[in-house]
Every structure is written in structure tokens, then in C-alpha cells.
Amino acid sequence: MPVKSSNTTSANNRDQGEKSSNQRGKPSLHGLAPYEEKAGEDYMNDAQREHFRAILRAWRQELMEEVDRTVNHMQDEAANFPDPADRATQEEEFSLELRTRDRERKLIKKIDKTLIRVEDNDYGFCDQCGIDIGVRRLEARPTADLCVDCKTLDEIKEKQITGG
């Protein structure tokens, strides 16, 4: 497929050099089609914001359903193990599920915050340096609030602090 040229993304050309290979593949857009930028269209115009609003809402819905499923699963299973040994195993499983649920809840909160930013017209720009994060990067990570460069710097700093 030929790459469409767009005069709005010149600042983001470096994105294509992003090393993480797992972002190369088709991003899962929670059932939505990738956004097709028209030549010359403004970054984060109404259509783009609507696109990301839809992605964020669909993702949020998926997570909510996942949380519900976990709760139901735990309620169903809790009744099925009267044996204490089985219950111990089950408790381990549950604590793992609870951690997953906790992660999902945090993600839902982050999505909520991100949706507010979309409403406030504050979505899609790097928190640190203010440049466009870019449509493709946002599709891969809809809650991204840093550009690739700032994110990379951030990770390097983090590694230095944790000594990793």
C-alpha cells in the first residue's frame, strides 16, 4: 500500500523510526477502522477527535465487560469448592484475578481522564514538549500523553532511578 503524503505530519516523520516492533502490526482499534487522514487536514480536528473518542469508549466498554466477567466468574466458582485445599488454590487464582481487575480499573480511570481531555480539546499533544503525538501512535496507544521522544527519555530516566 503506498504511503499517502500528508503535509500535516512533517513534524512526526521521526515516528516512523520508532524501534518497538510490536507496534508495527495492525493496532487493535477495538473494532474500529484506522483513521484516514485527508491531505491538508488539521491535526485533532473534529473528525479526528470523534475517531479517538469512539476508540476510547469502545476500549472502555471492553474493559468494563472484562471486569464484570471476572466478578461473575469468581462468584460462580466460590460456591464450587467446599474443600479447604481447593479453596487455597482458588484463593491464589482469585488474587491474581483481583490484580488483573485492579489493573483494568486503573486503565478505565486513565481512559476516563483521556476522554475528558478529548472534550477539553487537549488531546493528542505531548504533555512535556507540546508537539503532536500523531494519529498512528495514538491509535496504537490511545491514552498516550507523551510523544515518542519524551516517552523514550522518560523510560531512560526511569531505568536510571530504578537501576534497571
Rule CB under 5 A: which residues touch Zn ion? Answer: 126, 128-129, 147, 150
Q: Which grid coordinates are listed for 107?
A: 486503565
Min dist. Cβ of residue 137 to Zn ion (A): 11
Give the nearer residue to Zn ion in terms of CB position, either 8 or 90: 8
Residue of 18, 48, 16, 15 whose CA lies nearest to 34: 48
Min dist. Cβ of residue 141 to Zn ion (A): 14
Give the nearer residue to Zn ion in terms of CB position, either 50 or 122: 122
Residue type, 149: D
Min dist. Cβ of residue 63 to Zn ion (A): 27
126-132 CB contacts, 8 Å cutoff, 24+ apart: 126/150, 131/11, 131/12, 132/9, 132/11, 132/12, 132/43, 132/44
Give the nearer residue to Zn ion in terms of CB position, either 135 or 147: 147
Residue 142 CA to its chain's centroid (Å): 4
Min dist. Cβ of residue 151 to Zn ion (A): 8
> Please, are residues 29 and 53 in contact by the beta-carbon 8 Å criterion?
no
Give the nearer residue to Zn ion in terms of CB position, either 65 or 154: 154
